[in-house]
Amino acid sequence: MWGGRFTSGPAEIMEQINASIDFDQRLYQQDIQASKAHATMLAACGIISDSDNEAIQDGLDKIAQEIAQGHFTFQRALEDIHMNVEARLRELIGEAAGRLHTARSRNDQIATDFRLWVRDSNDGVIGQLREALSALLDKAEQHSAVVMPGFTHLQNAQPVTFGHHMMAYVSMLRRDLSRFEDARVRMNESPLGGAALAGTGFPIDRNQTAELLGFDRPMANSIDAVSDRDHALEFLSNSAILATHLSRLAEEVVIWASDAYSFISLTDAFTTGSSIMPQKRNPDAAELVRGKSGRIIGNLNALLVVMKGLPLSYSKDMQEDKEPVFDTADSINLCLAAMTGIIKDMQPNEERLRAATGKGQITATDLADWLVRELGLPFRDAHHATGSIVHLAESQSCQIWDLSLAEMQKIEPRLNEGVFSVLSVDESASSRRSFGGTAPLRVREAIVAARQELGLS
């Protein structure tokens, strides 16, 4: 490959550290796709003959088939996917194979292959996110009016509906979806034709190769074309944020499925048993989603550290870009598939959820709001009076709705029977009709709006 500049081969350890074929063979489809486009363009521009192009196209198709069928032997001595493919192409078609690399470098070749691979992976995550969103919307619709405690600091705060809680994750994943969609626009530019870093003196048509590969346009600067890994960083960053969201939902699944809460049940499909305790049903799928978020976040940090100190244009350090991206793509797709399955599988325990709202003076805010609305108290005065009523209820080991009117009037004499209309859990949830609120009416409206925006039936 070095063609006369070197008179001896690399040391064994040099070969080992330099070779990337053990992992970049995953790029074979993209490498062959980009090479076919490059050869087509070279022929169209009169740089290679039509007969050479035809031989190259046929040879590349045969190699793609050999790799797909497991009949291709990858050689570490050939370093990477590019040289493994090119060496085999020369075996198949002879001298014409040597013309394929005209007007390109391994620098713009790998930049193109990797960008195509990341784009494909990005599209896969978009599809999986839409499936997860559909599952959340279905679950929210099925349980739009089921009351449960809403928490702050993991303490009972106010009644909400299960559907509203699911819709919070819909909002989070919709933002994730928009990030992957936005990133796709930015990554959809072609590096091919940047060559080593300065472009090429051959009369190539970069617009043609960009179009053949489904890119919107060629990248505007040849140095940036071979130096840029923003598409990989954005994919990792977006995946890290998504993994954080999935991890938060996974954590709630773990808590809710515990005996102490029993808010939901999971079937055998997404739980495991114990090797010693026959009664156990462990939410291991959710725990693994929670755990894998650490790997995904770490992969983002790894590539940021690799890229932060590199001068333009290409440095061999950038070979370290692929493994974290490959690992993240595998992990985030697995996490999305698992979490989508968990969402579909979990069933809320409505009786347990309602019973849990009978603790923590959960409608105290409704009492304070009533004092403001009906008696005209400033909110801070209403808050103080409500706090005193809560203290009275706790001293009697009951909830505020269990107190008599006379007992409450000792704290605020102007209270009347009307106050009891706002103290029930159902009334509390139903009253939160502000846009984005937990009232079942608003939840159902939000579900319809989300389905329309996402194009989900």
Instruction: Considering only CA atoms, give the Rg of the chain.
Output: 30
CA dist 105 and 98 (Å) reads 13
Q: Which helix (H) or strand (E) holds 149?
A: strand 147-152
Distances in Å between the alpha carbon of 387 and those of 152, 155, 393, 398, 415? Answer: 17, 16, 10, 14, 15
CA dist 158 and 429 (Å) reads 8
- Which of 179, 167, 183 is closest to 231 using CA atoms? 183
Burial class (CB in 10 A: 0-12, 13-18, 19+), 367: buried
Please report the beta strands in 256-329, taking only residues with DSSP state E, as ranges in sequence order. Answer: 264-265
The helix-helix angle for 81-93 and 28-44 (nearest 10°) equals 60
**Catalytic residue ranges:** 153, 274
CA dist 428 and 158 (Å) reads 8
CA dist 136 and 133 (Å) reads 5
